[in-house]
């Protein structure tokens, strides 16, 4: 399954628990962390858990999205949906 599809499916899952104004949007420029982000840490954590669990059930491999890379990028500027997709792609590839 493509990284973007895994993310989209995870978003649907996490959004079920969220109020309308908190919902995550699948858009490359959507800020997960950054000045325009409205997501709190719990939502981000739940999104990452949902993605990691999908990867595990699809491939049996464990990945960690909340890694030093994530914190480095998010501290410097912002971390977008596009960054997440790239990170996921890299981590999936690395684990093969």
Partner 1 sequence: MTIKELKKNKNFYLITKEVINKSSSQKRKILKFINTVNHLYFMRAEIFATRFLKYLKMQKIDFKYAINAYLKLCRDMMTSQKYFLKNKKYPVDNEKLAYKNVYGNIREMKSYMIGLAISQFLWPTHYAMYSFFIEKIEKENSKIKNYLEVGPGHGLFLIQALEKLNDNTQYEIVDISKTSLQITQSIVDTIINKERKINYKLKNILNIRNSKKFDFITMGEVLEHVTKPKELLIKLKNLVNDNGSIYISTCVDCPSIDHVYHFKSVSEIENMIKQSGFRIIDKLVLPVEEKSMKEIIKNKITINYCAHIRKKIN
CA 94 – CA 86 distance, rounded (Å): 12
Site membership for partner 1, residue 63 (CB under 8 A)? no
Residue bearing tokens 């997501």: 39
| Residue 12 burial (CB count, 10 A) | 12
Q: What are phi and psi of 23, to 5 degrees?
A: -60, 145
Q: Considering beta carbons, is residue 2 or 77 the nearer one to partner 1?
A: 77
Determine which residue in the list 16, 20, 21, 35 makes contact with partner 1, applying CB under 8 A: 35
Which residues in this chain contact partner 1 in the complex, by CB under 8 A?
17, 33-35, 37, 40-42, 44-46, 48-49, 52-53, 66, 71, 74-75, 77-78
């Amino acid at each position: 399954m493509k990284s973007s599809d895994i993310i989209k499916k995870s978003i649907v899952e996490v959004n079920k628990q969220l109020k309308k104004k908190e919902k995550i949007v699948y858009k490359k420029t959507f800020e997960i962390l950054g000045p325009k982000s409205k997501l709190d840490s719990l939502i981000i954590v739940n999104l990452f858990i949902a993605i990691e669990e999908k990867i595990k059930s699809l491939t049996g491999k464990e990945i960690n999205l909340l890694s030093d890379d994530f914190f480095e990028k998010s501290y410097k500027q912002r971390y977008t949906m596009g960054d997440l997709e790239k990170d996921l792609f890299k981590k999936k590839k690395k684990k093969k």
